[in-house]
Structure 1
């Protein structure tokens, strides 16, 4: 849960910025069913362990790139710092959808400028469908993006978003319009193709959240206006079988201030590394 853009987005990155334009790929939509284990994930006030089920989709329809997933949190178990589908008053569904509209494909023209090969209108909609106010989130990021030609096998995307915040687990910035923004940088590099057709890839994306009002609105100084998360994924892809392992670095993850003490007396741990391992089947 929360490991955005794993193997599927890496495939899209390869299509759009590694020298093969997605316009040549034609329309397609694929989906993968994942079993994922994560530990030391720091989006909440305490590090969470989570074994969960995920249905992920990705593809292209005309000028639109598609990516998203649906998670069943704590489906296989986890620690007490997260509640899931089998718990009372908890999250039953976590989902994220990230459509991108290609200006090159929409207009049918090459709008590249120097190394900037394509331009996008981009969105990122995150929903945690919890059963209580404290277990619900509804956040929309919206903005622009570009794919960058590095003249190597290294693919690169950059997105710049503004943020609209609705529900946010009962936090002080709930229902705040224009609650800051997010700078997102993505890299994809194909490491090796094996004789059996399988591929080994490296994919990384980093999110810097800035300009939020959450820290200013929260008494006690234990929330922040900024946060940084950087995720590093190694994936092994066969025709249907998908495997990945990932490390994710958090700095004030979830806009919780590392080392601060909350109003209910807990000391926060929100800096450091979290880990993921997963196996999936692509349909």
Structure 2
């Protein structure tokens, strides 16, 4: 039997994983994947920082739990000349979602919506309480979109774990679309995400009430490796208003080499 060479991230976005759990078998669509990405960012915003980092990325499904996350380690050689020298070395994102279809045993799909979730998202970095320490709480869906296929779409309210206060909202979406296949089974994909925050209260740190990022990646994939380039557009990212003194709106470039475990 010929290998499909499709990564599990792609399988998760395909129609092979239906949302029908009315038979009570919540584990029939279980899967997991993990990979290591050696990355280099060029003019990353805010601040136009160029730097290397290692990203350990994972995702999967376990019963009613759908999950995705990664851990970034910056300035791998601890170089004094790195843009990340003296900064926190770790950033972690974890996004667990609980299927309401699986939890209730009912088919909650309608129209293009294939599955409904209680959705959460956590962002932490390696610093103290004055650094990123956020949580997001809301509803999520898997939506079938023309050409792109299954797309994750989540709406959250943000709870700042450091300030102990609610502070705005976020809309997030992500996709993975193979669009060109080679004879050996490898393929090229268009993959990316959008995170857009709004309704944040302005203070000494949040100078814009809205802003976000849009990542567009073109990647070549085989069964064990991938190589890719990503263009990321920023608009007042992290609620920081763009100024001549500190740039938070514009474009950054990302280069990645990946090994799939």
Q: Give TM-score, length-normalised by structure 2.
A: 0.85
The alignment covers a number of residue pairs equal to: 248
Question: 2:168 matched to which residue of 1?
Answer: 180
Task: Report if aligned partners of 2:120, 2:136 keep a CA contact under 8 Å in 1.
Answer: yes
Task: Report if aligned partners of 2:168, 2:199 keep a CA contact under 8 Å in 1.
Answer: yes
Structure 2 vs 1, CA of residues 187 and 53 (structure 1 numbering), >3 Å: closer, same or farther? Answer: closer
Residue 178 of structure 1 aligns to a residue whose secondary structure is strand
Structure 2 vs 1, CA of residues 78 and 103 (structure 1 numbering), >3 Å: closer, same or farther? Answer: farther
Question: 1:53 matched to which residue of 2?
Answer: 54
After TM superposition, give the deviation of residue 196 of structure 1 in Å: 1.6
Residue 41 (structure 2) pairs with residue 34 (structure 1):
no
Give ranges in structure 1 of 5+ residues lacking alignment: 1-9, 168-174, 261-266
After TM superposition, give the deviation of residue 107 of structure 1 in Å: 3.1
Residue 109 of structure 2 aligns to a residue whose secondary structure is coil
Distance 1:163 1:251 in 2: 18
Distance 1:199 1:159 in 2: 28
Residue 268 of structure 1 aligns to a residue whose secondary structure is coil
Distance 1:256 1:233 in 2: 24
Question: 1:172 matched to which residue of 2?
Answer: none
Distance 2:30 2:169 in 1: 31
Stretch deviating more after TM superposition (102-111 or 176-185): 102-111
1:74-117, Cα deviation, whole Å (9 max, x unpaired): 22578978435xx3xx3132111111112223333321112211
Give ranges in structure 2 of 5+ residues lacking alignment: 1-6, 20-26
After TM superposition, give the deviation of residue 236 of structure 1 in Å: 1.6
1:184-215, Cα deviation, whole Å (9 max, x unpaired): 133332212222221211113111101111x2
Question: 1:165 matched to which residue of 2?
Answer: 160
Question: 2:71 matched to which residue of 1?
Answer: 70
The structure with the greater share of residues assigned to helix is 1
Q: Equivalent of 1:104, from 82, 94, 101?
A: 101
Task: Report if aligned partners of 1:127, 1:139 keep a CA contact under 8 Å in 2.
Answer: yes
Distance 1:149 1:30 in 2: 22
Alignment of 1:261-280 (within 5 A): 267-280=245-258
Structure 2 vs 1, CA of residues 179 and 81 (structure 1 numbering), >3 Å: closer, same or farther? Answer: farther
- Computed over aligned residues only, the root mean square deviation of the Cα atoms, in angstroms, reads 2.6
